[in-house]
Amino acid sequence: MNRFEYHDGQLRCEGQPLRDLAARFGTPLYVYSAETFRTHFARLAHAFGALQPRICYSVKCCPNLDILRLLAACGSGFDIVSGGELFRVLRIGTPPDRIVFAGVGKTEREIDEALAARVGLLNVESAGELELLARAAQRHAVTPDVALRIIPDVDAKTHAYTTTGTRHNKFGIPLDQAADLYRRFGASPLVRLRGLHLHIGSPVSDPERYALGIRRALQLIDTLRAEGLTVDTLDIGGGYGAHYVGDDAPSADAYAQVIVPLLADRGLRVILEPGRSIAANAGVLVTRVLYVKTSGRRRFVVVDASMNELIRPALYSAYHFIWPVDAGPRIPQDWSPNQPFDGLRRCDVVGPVCESGDFLAKGRRLPPVQPGDLLAVHTAGAYGMAMASQYNSRPRAAEVLVDGGAVRLMRRRETYEDLIAAEHVPPE
C-alpha cells in the first residue's frame, strides 16, 4: 500500500499533486506520505502482535527528525548504529529504554554516549567491544543491558553488499564464540547479558531465511539456559521487503506466519528492527527532465536527480520504478504499471554527476518525455535521502512530508554556503 496515486492524470501524494509540490519546493525533491509510514508500521505491529514485540524502526533508512517523531507517535522505538543516530533519537525525546544500539565498529566515544544516555540495549558484535563496554560501564557506574549479535551463518539471498548473516561478513560473533563469551560475562557485575541479536540482510524476500537464523539462535538460547544463564531477549533485526517491482515483497503477515510460531511461548522479549518495509514505499523522488539526447542506439534522458540523491541503482544495480508525474493524455486512462503499451521508448535515465555509474535506470521503457517533464522515482523512501551525498558539490535535495491536507518542508534544500560550512576553520 502507498498513497502515491494517479488521479485526473496527475500523480498525487495523499491527494496533493506532485507537480504543485515540485513547483513550490523545486527539484530534485523527496516527497513522503505520512499515512503510508503509519500504515506500514501498523501492519507489522498487527502481524507480529501475538509476540507483543518491541518495534525499533531502523533510523539509518530514513532518519529525518519528523519521520522519527511520526513513528515514535505510533509507538516505535529505534534501532541506531552511530552516535549521530543516538543524537537524533535523543533530540526527539525518545525514552532511552526504547533504543537499541547495533554496529560493528562502535567507538569508545559512542559507547560512552550510549552509557550516558542509558540506552535500552547494546548489541555487541565482538569480544573486544564487550571488554571495552564492561570497562566503560564501570567508569560510568552503570550496568548496561547487552545482547550478543551472532552470526547465524544464513545466506539471506540478497545483494552481496547487503548480506550480513554469513561467516564471510564482518558482522557479529560466530555461534561457538558467542556461547563462550556469554558464559564468560553471564555472571559479570559490570554488564547484564540479556540475549542475542541477529540481522541476516536486507531485503530478505524469503521468510524461511529468518526461520533458519532464528532456529540457530534458539538452539544457542536453549544451551545457555540449560546452563543456568539468563536469556530473555531476542532481537531478530530487520530486512523485511518493500515493493520495488509491482507487489513483489512478501507481506508483513507472510513474515509473521513463519516467525511467530517459532517464538511464541518462548519466554522471550522479541525486538524487530524494520526500516525499508516501513519507509521505502512511503517516499518518491521527484526529478525534472533537463535534456533528451541520443548516441548511436542509446537514448539518454538527463534529469536533475543523480546518484547524489539516490545511489541505490549505482551501488546495488537496484531497480526503482520510474514514471512521468503528469501521465496526461500520453498514457491510457486504464494504465497500470504492469501493463506496457505502445509508444514506450527504451532509455537510460541519467543524472548530471560526472560518473558513468550515475544512472537511475538503464534500458528502461518510458513514455516519450521532453525537457521540463517531471518523473517520479518510486520506492525511494528508504536508503534514498539517507545515503545522499554532495559529490560534485551539489547541494542535497529538500524533503517534504504530506500528511493529509498538510504539507511540511521537513528538510530545506541545501545552499552553496552549506557546501562549505564545515570548511570555515579558523587558522591554527
Give the residue from 62, 49, 81, 61 showing the smallest Cα distance to 197. Answer: 81
Least CB distance to ligand LLP at residue 380 (A): 10
For ligand LLP, give the closer residue by CB, 144 or 238.
238
The residue number with the shortest CB distance to ligand LLP is 275
* Residue 239 or 324 with smaller CB distance to ligand LLP: 239
Q: By the 8 A CB rule, do 354 and 33 touch?
A: no
Residue closer to ligand LLP by CB (options 136, 147) is 147
Residues 6+ apart with CB under 8 A from 265: none
- The answer to whether 147 and 194 have CB atoms below 8 angstroms apart is yes
Question: Smallest distance, Å, CB 210 to ligand LLP?
Answer: 12
CA–CA dist 30, 107 (Å, integer): 32
Least distance between ligand LLP and beta carbon 202 (Å): 3
Nearest one of 74, 68, 172, 79 to 119, comparing CA atoms: 79
Residue 130 CB, nearest distance to ligand LLP (Å)?
Answer: 17
- Smallest distance from ligand LLP to CB 161, Å: 7
In whole angstroms, give the CA distance from residue 188 to residue 384.
42
Helix, strand, coil abundance in the chain, percent, nearest 5: 35, 25, 40
HSE (CB half, 13 Å, CA atoms) of 40?
29
Among candidate residues 311, 396, 323, the one with its CA nearest the CA of residue 29: 396
Residue number with CB closer to ligand LLP (198 or 400):
198
* Cβ(115)–Cβ(137) below 8 Å: yes
Alpha-carbon gap, residue 223 to 354, rounded angstroms: 55
Contact 324, 6 (CB under 8 A): no
Binding site for ligand LLP (CB under 6 A): 58, 61, 79, 102, 162, 199, 202-203, 237-240, 273-277, 312, 316, 382-383
Interatomic CA distance for residues 328 and 346, integer angstroms: 20
Give the angle 235-239-242 at the CA atoms, nearest 5°.
140
CB of 175 to ligand LLP, least distance (A): 17
Quick one: 170 or 365, whose CB is closer to ligand LLP?
A: 170
Cβ neighbours, 10 Å, residue 155: 13
Contact 125, 165 (CB under 8 A): no
Looking at residue 295, its amino acid is S
Helix (H, G, I), strand (E, B) or coil at 318: coil
- Judge whether 55 and 44 are in contact, CB under 8 Å: yes
CA distance 229 to 299: 64
Hey, is 428 helix, strand or coil? coil
| Of residues 202 and 308, the one with the C-beta less far from ligand LLP | 202
Residue showing cell 550496568: 143
Nearer to ligand LLP by Cβ, of 77 and 239: the residue is 239
The answer to whether residue 62 is catalytic is no
Q: For residues 216 and 288, which CB has a smaller minimum distance to ligand LLP in the complex?
A: 216
Least CB distance to ligand LLP at residue 4 (A): 19
Q: How far is the CB of 274 from ligand LLP (least distance, A)?
A: 5
**Exactly one of 56, 74, 347, 354 is catalytic; which is it?**
354
Q: How far is the CB of 119 from ligand LLP (least distance, A)?
A: 14
Which parts of 186-337 fold into alpha helices (H)?
A: 207-226, 252-263, 276-279, 312-316
Residue with Cβ nearer ligand LLP (241 or 324): 241
Q: Mind telling me the catalytic residues?
A: 354
